[in-house]
Amino acid sequence: MRCTAGACNERFCEHGCLREHEIAVRNLVYHITHNPNDVDDITQEVFIKAYQSLASFRGGSFRAYLARIARNHCYDVLRRKRVRPETTLGDLTVEQWPGTDGGPEDVFLDKETALEVRHLLDQLGEVDRELMILRHLNEFSYEEIAEVVGMRPGAVRTRISRARQKMQELMERRGQGETPAITTGMGIHRR
Amino acid sequence: MKHLQSQQAWAYIEDEMEWHQKLKYDRHLEECMDCRRLLDDTRRLQQSMIHAMDAEVPAMPPDFHAQLLDALHKDAESPAASRTLRSKHLFQRRIRYGVSSAATVVLALGIGWFTLHGKLSLPSPTPAHNSVAMGMTGDVTGHQTRKGPGGGVSHHRTNGVLENLASPAQAPANIESPGQAALATTTVPDRLNGLALFQVKTPSGQPIANAHVSVMAGGQLLATGLTGENGQVRPLQLSVPVDPVLYPLFSTAAIAEQGTMTVVVWKQGYRPVVSYDVRVFAGGSSQFSQSLTLQPAAGDPPPILAGYGFSRNGQGYQTSTVAAFVNWVKQAVTVQSVDTAAGQVQKVTSMVGTSNTAQGPGHVAVTVLNQNGRPVEGAQVAVVAGSHISGSGHTNANGVAPVIATSGIADWRFIGPWNISNLSPQITAVVVWKQGYAPAVGMYVPISSTSPTDVTVKLDSLSWRKSMGWNNLSAPSTIAPERLPTTTNAMSYLAWATGQGY
């Protein structure tokens, strides 16, 4: 992984690459553990682990290497705590939704829609949700995701495709039901 | 040509389709409204999922990066530390980096070992500045194009100990930033051109004829049209601005390189729709299609907000604000009389109208100092208003550049989400750079024709940073007022204003 600042070829340089990885790792950690209180601690632990086990890195995608460690570490933490991650948001209301608040930017991050989509994401299986996080939020390639979760790239592709299909169906079903249709974007209301 | 299937639509929007296949579908898409709709739906689903997943993650503490670096240093220094990974307050603990000389030796040895093995190069703690990669040459002239944003960015923090050791080294002009090596080669136009196709229909899918469709961007009316019997407006040739205002909102350059516009649709007897659209002509596409649904309603019903990020009911905006906007558009298009029955709406209308005019020209006094507080002469200053440079200048011997500039145009979308009284034309950025220094970008700088604006910039010389052991020379200098853009935004502005890629 070359430093994105173009200044070095290091794994743990302080240029943009480390910061970029921080966001991706933290995203993954949060979405596996669903624990806002510990997400920073656990993310830090992931980096320390990755740092300590650099010798085991055999090349390839460095961010996939980090994500694999993050994933394994999160499950270790959950096992130790003997708790399952929260997989649903339960009765969380729009007001409780932890999106941004106050600024004009909110206009672009409509909480209501985000929450509705989030509820639908909950209806995917745990692994599928992880795949969607890695693919859509962290923008990993299928090959990188395969490295992270230990599956073949083809299998990853198929699962993601099915998960998307399911999301589409869920949204359409929701749009046809008594609940308000979701506007996923630019003004088309599914009914 | 077969229609797009869901899987192909994903491949299309994720740029995973073979180019020859994409070319075929591009042609097909020009004729097939159904496939365009599928593509739009797929894009919307993708964006909604990303936003939903992203919004849930708690905000990263501003000093997370610095704390992580501290922890990594600590770990390199003391292997035992790793055995207490789960110490309860590992992250919260603020580890001061005032290390003893002995510890420094251990640390240096540790880092040296890893560096030799080509795998680890822990940075030295660095001063408390936000940063932007740079590599600045060029002048503020004739900006018809801008380079695509990119490159590395990071934020750093340090104790004051190292800073106090600063040698007053002056920057030789020939030092180049490491960011120079990361210059992007992609040229992104300020505007994107293409054909926009609109269809207006009832909730049951019946076409609506004689509906007004108006396209706005940057406070200006770009095009208008009337729907025909088939509910479609003749294809509108548009030149849509790439909206730098959006940059703070997105994390990837790819999303930033997109056109934006607002579409207003209305017809007597229906609820008007205001739709804000992003990703217009994005990714090299020369077409944009949209299907809008009008709901029948009697009287003068409030409009519906639709589009990117808006909920079904336009939650987040005061109804009167949206109504005022619609009225403003109607006025601009047909010179219709505004319904003044409600005094409030009339007042709001007037404010929205005003907001679509840039403010100024006003005086902006930019003072540029180096890391030691000494004036920097010959630094270039550019005031970026919306998507053009509205004023520029060079600092004099006192480090002051008096610039006369106009503000950007306050976009109606940036009216405070809940209160129109927040409206202020501050979509203006100041960019300062000089060869041999780390540039600075400040955003939301207010410009007024009645009172001058003072902006103070501290430019770090690269030689000083180098002498201080900064591994990251490509970091932005500080600027006040302190409302800083996100790093992506800063990079984009820098790239654009300086004519360099970052």
Q: How far is B335 from chain A (nearest CA, A)?
A: 26
The answer to whether residues B336 and B271 belong to one domain is yes
**pLDDT in the model for residue B457:** 85
Q: State pLDDT tens for residues B332-355.
A: 554 333 343 444 334 444 444 444
Higher pLDDT, residue A168 or B283: A168
Query: Does residue B25 belong to any structural domain of this protein?
Result: no
Query: Does residue B53 belong to any structural domain of this protein?
Result: no
Q: Between chains, do B41 and A13 touch, taking CB under 8 Å as contact? A: no
Query: Does residue B334 belong to any structural domain of this protein?
Result: yes
Q: Which residues of A touch B259 (CB under 8 A)?
A: none
Secondary structure class of B62 (helix, strand, coil): coil
Among partner residues A105, A115, A185, which is closest to B47 by beta-carbon distance? A185
**pLDDT in the model for residue B111:** 36
What is the average pLDDT value for chain A, to the nearest integer?
71
Q: Between chains, do B119 and A187 touch, taking CB under 8 Å as contact? A: no
By CA distance, what is A180's nearest residue in B?
B312
Q: What are phi and psi of B23, to 5 degrees?
A: -60, -45
**pLDDT in the model for residue B444:** 65
The answer to whether residues B155 and B233 belong to one domain is no
Rg (CA), chain A: 18
The answer to whether residues B382 and B415 belong to one domain is yes
Q: Which B residues, 454 through 493, put their C-beta within 8 Å of a C-beta on chain A? A: 471-474, 487
User: HEC states along B414-448?
Assistant: HCCCCCHHHCCCCCEEEEEECCCECCEEECCCCCC
> Which of B340, B355, B370 is at the close of a domain?
B355
Q: Between chains, do B118 and A9 touch, taking CB under 8 Å as contact? A: yes
> Is B44 an 8 Å CB contact of chain A?
yes
CATH number at residue B159: 2.60.40.1120
Q: Are B433 and B136 in contact (CB under 8 A)?
A: yes
Higher pLDDT, residue B456 or A18: B456
The residue written with tokens 């601690």 in the block is A41
**Average of pLDDT values for A82-102?**
44
The answer to whether residues B350 and B367 belong to one domain is no
How many domains does the structure of chain B reveal?
A: 3
Asked if pLDDT for residue B459 goes beyond 50, the answer is yes
**pLDDT in the model for residue A140:** 87
**Average of pLDDT values for B400-429?**
59
Asked if pLDDT for residue B63 goes beyond 70, the answer is yes
Asked if pLDDT for residue B108 goes beyond 80, the answer is no
Secondary structure class of B170 (helix, strand, coil): coil
> Which of B355, B384, B403 is at the close of a domain?
B355
Asked if pLDDT for residue B164 goes beyond 60, the answer is no
**Average of pLDDT values for B389-404?**
88
Q: Which residues are CB-neighbours of B406 under 8 A, at least 6 positions away?
A: B358, B359, B360, B361, B362, B385, B390, B391, B447
For chain B, what is the total number of helices (H) and then of strands (E)? Answer: 11, 18
The answer to whether residues B206 and B276 belong to one domain is yes
CA angle (B155, B455, B182) in 5-degree steps: 40
Among partner residues B115, B182, B249, which is closest to A108 by beta-carbon distance? B249
Copy the structure tokens of residue B323.
């109504």
Q: With cut-offs at 50, 70 and 90, classify the pLDDT of residue B479.
A: low
**Average of pLDDT values for A153-172?**
89
Expressed as residue numbers, the domain containing B244 is 188-355
Total length of chain B: 502
**pLDDT in the model for residue B231:** 93
**pLDDT in the model for residue A28:** 92
Q: Between chains, do B55 and A109 touch, taking CB under 8 Å as contact? A: yes
Q: Between chains, do A47 and B71 touch, taking CB under 8 Å as contact? A: yes
**pLDDT in the model for residue B200:** 94
Among partner residues A16, A57, A103, which is closest to B151 by beta-carbon distance? A16
Asked if pLDDT for residue A1 goes beyond 60, the answer is no
Q: Between chains, do A110 and B310 touch, taking CB under 8 Å as contact? A: yes
Among partner residues B46, B60, B307, which is closest to A187 by beta-carbon distance? B307
Q: With cut-offs at 50, 70 and 90, classify the pLDDT of residue B153.
A: very low
Q: Which B residues, 375 through 404, put their C-beta within 8 Å of a C-beta on chain A? A: none
Among partner residues A12, A121, A186, which is closest to B308 by beta-carbon distance? A186
Q: How far is A67 from chain B (nearest CA, A)?
A: 16
Count of Cβ atoms closer than 10 Å to residue A10 Cβ: 22
As beta bridge partners, residue B403 has B364
**pLDDT in the model for residue B277:** 73
What is the average pLDDT value for chain B, to the nearest integer?
62
Query: Does residue B19 belong to any structural domain of this protein?
Result: no
**Percentage, residues of chain B above pLDDT 90:** 6
Q: Which residues of A touch B312 (CB under 8 A)?
A: 180-183, 189
Q: With cut-offs at 50, 70 and 90, classify the pLDDT of residue A83.
A: low
Please name the amino acid found at residue B208. I
**Average of pLDDT values for A10-38?**
75
**pLDDT in the model for residue B207:** 94
Q: How far is B398 from chain A (nearest CA, A)?
A: 33
Write down the H helix ranges in B205-305. Answer: 253-256
> CA-to-CA distance for B291 and B198, rounded, in angstroms?
6
Q: With cut-offs at 50, 70 and 90, classify the pLDDT of residue B60.
A: confident
Asked if pLDDT for residue A159 goes beyond 90, the answer is yes
The answer to whether residues B237 and B248 belong to one domain is yes
Please tell me which of B185-189, B325-329, B341-345, B347-351 the model is most confident about, judged by mean pLDDT.
B325-329
The answer to whether residues B209 and B348 belong to one domain is yes
Query: Does residue B255 belong to any structural domain of this protein?
Result: yes
Q: Which B residues, 255 through 284, put their C-beta within 8 Å of a C-beta on chain A? A: 263, 273, 275, 277-278
Asked if pLDDT for residue B432 goes beyond 60, the answer is yes
Q: Which helix (H) or strand (E) holds B21?
A: helix B19-31
Asked if pLDDT for residue B313 goes beyond 70, the answer is no
The complex's ipTM works out to: 0.78
Q: With cut-offs at 50, 70 and 90, classify the pLDDT of residue A175.
A: low
Higher pLDDT, residue A129 or B407: A129
**pLDDT in the model for residue A7:** 35
Please name the amino acid found at residue B175. I
Q: With cut-offs at 50, 70 and 90, classify the pLDDT of residue B163.
A: very low
The answer to whether residues B198 and B235 belong to one domain is yes
> CA-to-CA distance for B136 and B367, rounded, in angstroms?
19
Q: Which residues of B touch A115 (CB under 8 A)?
A: 52
Q: With cut-offs at 50, 70 and 90, classify the pLDDT of residue A157.
A: very high
Query: Does residue B150 belong to any structural domain of this protein?
Result: yes
Asked if pLDDT for residue B61 goes beyond 80, the answer is yes
> CA-to-CA distance for B384 and B369, rounded, in angstroms?
21
Q: State pLDDT tens for residues A134-147.
A: 998 888 889 899 98
Q: Between chains, do A14 and B122 touch, taking CB under 8 Å as contact? A: yes
Among partner residues B55, B65, B119, which is closest to A54 by beta-carbon distance? B119
The answer to whether residues B168 and B262 belong to one domain is no
The answer to whether residues B327 and B371 belong to one domain is no
Please tell me which of A82-91, B304-313, B394-403, B479-488 the model is most confident about, judged by mean pLDDT.
B394-403
Q: How far is B66 from chain A (nearest CA, A)?
A: 10
Among partner residues A22, A100, A114, which is closest to B52 by beta-carbon distance? A114
Q: Are A187 and B273 in contact (CB under 8 A)?
A: yes
Exposed/middle/buried for residue A107 (C-beta within 10 Å: 0-12, 13-18, 19+): buried
Asked if pLDDT for residue B96 goes beyond 90, the answer is no
> Is B83 an 8 Å CB contact of chain A?
no
Domains plus CATH for chain A?
1-87 (1.10.1740.10), 88-124+152-191 (no CATH)
One DSSP character per residue, B309-360 reads: T--TT-TTS-HHHHHHHHHHHHHHHH-PPP--SSHHHHHHHHHHHHHTS---
Copy the structure tokens of residue A14.
């302080």
**pLDDT in the model for residue B491:** 52
Q: State pLDDT tens for residues B194-235.
A: 898 999 999 898 999 999 888 876 556 778 888 999 999 888
Query: Does residue B124 belong to any structural domain of this protein?
Result: no
Exposed/middle/buried for residue B348 (C-beta within 10 Å: 0-12, 13-18, 19+): buried
Q: Which residues of B touch A111 (CB under 8 A)?
A: 55
**pLDDT in the model for residue A188:** 24
The answer to whether residues B347 and B422 belong to one domain is no
Count of Cβ atoms closer than 10 Å to residue B276 Cβ: 23
The answer to whether residues B343 and B200 belong to one domain is yes
Higher pLDDT, residue B302 or A3: B302
Q: Which residues are CB-neighbours of B33 under 8 A, at least 6 positions away?
A: B197, B199, B289, B291
> Which of B355, B372, B392 is at the close of a domain?
B355
- Interface size A-B, in CB pairs within 8 Å, comes to 289
**Among the listed ranges A167-171, B116-120, B284-288, B449-453, which one has the minimum average pLDDT value?**
B116-120
Query: Does residue B425 belong to any structural domain of this protein?
Result: yes
Count of Cβ atoms closer than 10 Å to residue B193 Cβ: 12
Copy the structure tokens of residue B222.
């770009």
**Percentage, residues of chain B above pLDDT 70:** 47
Q: Which residues of B touch A33 (CB under 8 A)?
A: none
